[in-house]
Structure 1
Amino acid sequence: MADPTPLLSQPNNTETEPSKHLPSLGSTIEKCIGEFNWSQFLQGALISLSWLFDAQQTFITVFTDAMPSWHCTGEDQSSNQISNVGSILQSGPTPEIWNNCYSTMSFNDVCNLPKGSWAWNGPAHTSIISEWDMECENSIIAGLPASSFFLGCLIGGLFLSTLADSSSLGRKNMLLFSTLLMAVSSLLTTFSPNIWIYSLLKFITGFGRATIGTSSLVLASELVGKRWRGKIGVIGFFCFTIGFLSLPAIAYANKDSSWRNLYLWTSIPTILYCILVKCFVQESPRWLLVRGKKEEAITTLKYITSITQSNLNLAINNMTSHEENNNLNVDLFYALKNLLERKWSSRRLLLIMALGFGIGVVYYGMPLGLGNLSFNIYLSVTFNALSELPSSLVTFFSIDKFRRRVALPVFCILSGVLSIMSTIEGKLWSNIQIWFELISFFSACTSLNIFLIYTTELFPTCVRNSALSMARLSMVFGGAFSPLLVSAGREQKFLCYGVFGLAIGISGVFGVFLPETKGRTLCDSMDEEENIGKSSCDILAST
């Protein structure tokens, strides 16, 4: 039940009161939002659902761009009967051609075989590789669609990162625009006639999805009180895992159908989701107040809370005037200038971006390279998606016990060593290489979790968002290289998982050159962070 007394009741002579007596915008919103309720939970859940569709488009090329399985064949001249490896040939290719085909199967390379000596196990339209006869294309061409996607993510992150704060869009519209652009371009992908149009549409898809995770997380957290912001954000991480898990199920249901169906089955639900966002998702009340849209802010707060309109009017009228300018002066580029002007902050940023590059190569590349392993692709993708759950649990329960500059290199190096071990050939190694890959991916996911937390602790409040944005962009930049390595790994496994291991292992070493932040109070200004040895941050951390 709402408190009958005004939240921010002021004396009648408010004009003569110093502005310093007025509470901050953040504290006003906290009081207005009040206790967590079902309306806020449903809003947060609906907003976080965008992560599910984001995950599907991020990893869909694991199936659509995979190298299909094939078998050796022999064609009987009299009956045109096709015989597989295990059958008895009565007529067909010469023994030399047959033996060459059979021995080549272990290397999954059909480029040196005559066309009549092998065939795909399923219909050619199940993958872009078989439909467009790309089995013998070089790694750059074969990996171009996935690389275009990550390049789009990189450029989209650079150009769209500040639009959620603009007066024309805001958090909700930015989420809607990004998700809709991703969905429409994904739907158009089903009509791709060749690899070049397909790659262009993948670029647009990546450009659109670049800000989905950020917009979703910010909007969901600004619709609830401070106490629940962390918990509501976890819903998005779980939705991302569910989206990852849904891909092998959808792919298996369409395993004999065209690869275009996967884009159809993932894009249409995303478009329907955009309609739900347009109709039911509320804009951030904080953003509305900063932009001077008082009436819309009141409507939003009334929708998600039980507070009375009179209290809302009084609180908002007391606050908006002198808070508005403070929130408009800081943008991404101003913060980046602050980061690069100081030697210590630019050094930290470069080290963090080097770490992010290696983690991104593995985190985005390993699921894409599962088709290069001697294991069922549907099960391997499912196991990889499931490995993110224990990784989150380990981080959640152990992050307060980890020394960041120690744990991060350890998990990175562990991931790198196991990734390299998964490339070892041999009958015994082939049976257990999937376990090396799973533990390596688990370690990479744990590294990613620590990496994101560590980044927020390394930089003060005034530049923290920009530093984290640059760290995420470095991950996407690493992910843009991974499809090329996956394509090259079809001929030589070490060029895939071996290079993955080297990338994350070497990048992990950069963590030891960063300062430790475990148990340290977060600082707010650049000067405070720079003089942390003498600042109140050190004093508070020691108490």
Structure 2
Amino acid sequence: MTMTDFGEILKHVGEFGRFQKCLVFMLSFLSFFNAFHMFGQVFMGISVPHHCNTNWILEKNPNLTEDVQLNLTIPRNEHGGHEQCIMYSPVDWDIESIHMYGLNDTVVCQDGWVYDTSQQKSTLVTEFDLVCLRREQVDICQSIYMLGFLIGSVIFGPLGDRLGRRPIILISVSMTFAFSLGAAFVTHFYVFIVLRCIVGIAMAGILINNLVLVAEWVGPSQRARATIIGHVCFAVGLMALAGVGYAIRNWRLLQIACSAPTALLVLYFWFLPESPRWLLTKGKNEKAKILLQKAARMNKREISDDILQQLQEEKQTKSGNMIDLFRIPDLRTKTLIMCLVWFMNALVYYGLSLKVGSFGLDIYLTQLIFGAVEVPARIGSMFTVQFFGRRLSQSLYLLLGGTACLIITAIPKNLSIVITVLAVIGKFATASSYSVCYIYATELFPTVIRQNGVGLCSMTARVAGIIAPLIGLLEKYHPAIPMAIYGSGPIIGGLLCYFLPETKGMDLQDHTVETADIPR
């Protein structure tokens, strides 16, 4: 028996029995908490009303009310409120002279800021003074977190193929817990940025290997369902984050609350199994046999010794590498198209998430809506890939999302409700497409280089996540440019999907071949 017959062995073990359901249940917890680590900073970096600290004038008269103090020391902006980043220059006059003549010369804040903490007790903004000339550092921190994702994709993709899926998941979970918890106790913002970057690196290791481990344990008929269960748990995590963020208004306590539950995943050191497919490609047949026997027992199935004995005939397979993805013509086509699909998915997903923030609703309610929208999107994609296949589903979702974004460019700005509905449709389609491309990528790449292939796709998605906020800056040249980019990109990706093979109902390919062996 060759490795291409592993699917037959899995049928004897059970394609989605109790063993696989337990595995999916375990890894779904990872997906749930991943939402906390990925988007927790949205609430930790909330900006609050602020103004320059002008307590210098209290030396002239300590009995001034706050309103009088602000009116004397801070100019008004065009909307009638007080400026947040400039103040009147301090003078050596007495208070009567200041009242009589007023102050005219302005300077940037000289002695820090005063923050309104009636709603948010403590945020990254208030603690590290990330306002005025430093206000962009919150966004930079999120971009560097995505840079960590990019680095992690480069590192943990190949390592997963070399060392195995299980050890990389365990290492990544340990890193996530240690560095995310450590971030709650930093005293310097740049240290926080570094720790967030490391958490991003670890998160990439979790996401890639989580995806591949499920795909390699579950049979083709249930693979889409098993993968999307994790995506739904991520969406539920987004909704739960809104509640946690609403309840905890101190960023350090919120960081601890988002990080501490990860400690429970230490139990995975005892219970998380390795991929038998990977073990067989490495010639570790005995370990694979033990795992398959354990899975068969849990699934209340019987697997004969004759079938297991045939595993001994499989010779150790040399791992592929990133070069194979471009050296072999068929793999090169798949790789380039899937990288483009992942890139466009991430660009529109993060771009719309930032753009749809103009709902005008409370930030916590907005987060709840964003998470709620993704639940039906993820679940719906599970049924579409089963009925229509991977290729058609991927293409249609991309075309729908791109079309919605392009229509927005033609809608007048005053029709905000119409724009919001179209943006939500675009996000719905993009979230659905994201779920499909995770399934599709694991099925397109052979086992020996699956981690490299998925890692490269994830890497392109991370690049898109880094530049997505920058696309929004193009609005100053023309307000339709960002949405035109978000719309045209997915349409191009959707059309290119027709050059990919269909993988619905097919067993995973294990070895690289010089010519395509999957029918189109």
CA drift at 1:252: 0.6
Partner of 2:160: 164
Which whole-Å deviations, capped at 9, do the CAs of 1:208-254 have from their partners, x for residues lacking one?
11121221222234344444333222221122112212211111111
Partner of 1:11: none
Deviates more, 1:131-140 or 1:53-62: 131-140
Task: Determine if the alignment matches structure 1 residue 184 to structure 2 residue 178.
Answer: yes
Q: Identify which of 265, 289, 297 aligns with 2:257.
A: 265
Q: Identify which of 104, 122, 141 aligns with 1:126.
A: 122
Aligned mates of 2:30, 2:200 — CA distance in 1 = 14
Q: Identify which of 235, 238, 242 aligns with 1:248.
A: 242
Q: How does 1:43-442 map to 2 (within 5 A)?
A: 43-69=23-49, 79-82=63-66, 91-94=68-71, 99-100=76-77, 102-103=79-80, 110-112=84-86, 119-122=115-118, 126-137=122-133, 141-166=137-162, 169-255=163-249, 257=250, 259-273=251-265, 275-306=266-297, 314-320=306-312, 322-325=313-316, 328-338=317-327, 342=329, 346=332, 349-350=335-336, 352-367=338-353, 374-399=360-385, 400=387, 402=392, 405=395, 408-415=398-405, 417-418=407-408, 424=413, 429=416, 435=421, 437-442=423-428
Aligned mates of 1:421, 1:66 — CA distance in 2 = 30
Deviates more, 1:241-250 or 1:69-78: 69-78
CA drift at 1:360: 1.3
Which whole-Å deviations, capped at 9, do the CAs of 1:124-153 have from their partners, x for residues lacking one?
763212221111135653322111111111
Aligned mates of 1:338, 1:248 — CA distance in 2 = 46
Aligned mates of 1:79, 1:211 — CA distance in 2 = 58
SS in 2 for 1:68: coil
CA drift at 1:205: 0.5
Deviates more, 1:455-464 or 1:259-268: 455-464
Aligned mates of 1:154, 1:420 — CA distance in 2 = 34
Partner of 2:96: none
Q: In structure 1, what residue type is equivalent to 2:488?
A: I
Question: CA 1:296–1:462 in structure 2 vs 1: closer, same or farther (change >3 Å)?
Answer: closer
Question: CA 1:155–1:36 in structure 2 vs 1: closer, same or farther (change >3 Å)?
Answer: closer
**Native 8 Å contact 1:285 1:301 kept in 2:** yes
**Native 8 Å contact 1:302 1:309 kept in 2:** no
**Native 8 Å contact 1:145 1:195 kept in 2:** no
**Native 8 Å contact 2:445 2:453 kept in 1:** yes
**Native 8 Å contact 1:411 1:446 kept in 2:** no
Q: In structure 2, what residue type is equivalent to 1:111?
A: C
Deviates more, 1:295-304 or 1:502-511: 295-304
SS in 2 for 1:193: coil
Question: CA 1:485–1:104 in structure 2 vs 1: closer, same or farther (change >3 Å)?
Answer: farther
Partner of 2:98: none
Q: How does 1:486-505 map to 2 (within 5 A)?
A: 500-505=482-487
CA drift at 1:465: 6.3
CA drift at 1:499: 6.1
Q: In structure 2, what residue type is equivalent to 1:333?
A: M
SS in 1 for 2:254: helix
**Native 8 Å contact 2:23 2:214 kept in 1:** yes
**Native 8 Å contact 1:419 1:437 kept in 2:** no
CA drift at 1:203: 0.9
**Native 8 Å contact 1:364 1:482 kept in 2:** yes
Aligned mates of 2:228, 2:405 — CA distance in 1 = 24
**Native 8 Å contact 1:357 1:477 kept in 2:** yes
Aligned mates of 1:347, 1:35 — CA distance in 2 = 30
**Native 8 Å contact 2:48 2:117 kept in 1:** yes
Question: CA 1:52–1:134 in structure 2 vs 1: closer, same or farther (change >3 Å)?
Answer: same
Deviates more, 1:380-389 or 1:169-178: 169-178
CA drift at 1:521: 6.6
Question: CA 1:412–1:135 in structure 2 vs 1: closer, same or farther (change >3 Å)?
Answer: same
**Identical counterparts, % of pairs:** 24
Structure 2 residue ranges without an equivalent (≥5): 89-108
**Native 8 Å contact 1:189 1:198 kept in 2:** yes
**Native 8 Å contact 1:33 1:301 kept in 2:** yes
TM-score for both structures, normalised by structure 2 = 0.77
CA drift at 1:369: 6.3
Which whole-Å deviations, capped at 9, do the CAs of 1:487-533 have from their partners, x for residues lacking one?
x6xxx98699966524322312423652626995789777654xxxx
Aligned mates of 1:117, 1:365 — CA distance in 2 = 31
Aligned mates of 2:279, 2:447 — CA distance in 1 = 22
**Native 8 Å contact 1:56 1:266 kept in 2:** yes
Question: CA 1:352–1:288 in structure 2 vs 1: closer, same or farther (change >3 Å)?
Answer: closer
Partner of 1:14: none
Question: CA 1:324–1:58 in structure 2 vs 1: closer, same or farther (change >3 Å)?
Answer: farther
Aligned mates of 1:284, 1:458 — CA distance in 2 = 18
Structure 1 residue ranges without an equivalent (≥5): 1-19, 84-90, 530-534, 539-543
Q: In structure 2, what residue type is equivalent to 1:505?
A: G
Which whole-Å deviations, capped at 9, do the CAs of 1:286-307 have from their partners, x for residues lacking one?
3344444455444433433228
Q: Identify which of 488, 496, 508 aligns with 1:514.
A: 496
Alignment length, in residue pairs?
484
CA drift at 1:67: 2.0
Partner of 2:14: 34
**Native 8 Å contact 2:394 2:433 kept in 1:** no
CA drift at 1:373: 5.7
Aligned mates of 1:370, 1:104 — CA distance in 2 = 26
CA drift at 1:468: 4.3
Deviates more, 1:185-194 or 1:111-120: 111-120
Which whole-Å deviations, capped at 9, do the CAs of 1:437-474 have from their partners, x for residues lacking one?
43332233234345556667888898776544433321
CA drift at 1:163: 1.7
CA drift at 1:375: 2.2
Q: In structure 1, what residue type is equivalent to 2:151?
A: I
Aligned mates of 2:129, 2:311 — CA distance in 1 = 64
CA drift at 1:57: 1.1
SS in 2 for 1:277: helix
Q: In structure 2, what residue type is equivalent to 1:218?
A: V
TM-score for both structures, normalised by structure 1 = 0.74
**Native 8 Å contact 1:61 1:368 kept in 2:** no
Question: CA 1:112–1:360 in structure 2 vs 1: closer, same or farther (change >3 Å)?
Answer: farther
Deviates more, 1:123-132 or 1:362-371: 362-371
CA drift at 1:200: 0.7
Two-structure CA RMSD over aligned residues (Å): 4.2
**Native 8 Å contact 1:146 1:483 kept in 2:** no
Aligned mates of 1:304, 1:156 — CA distance in 2 = 31
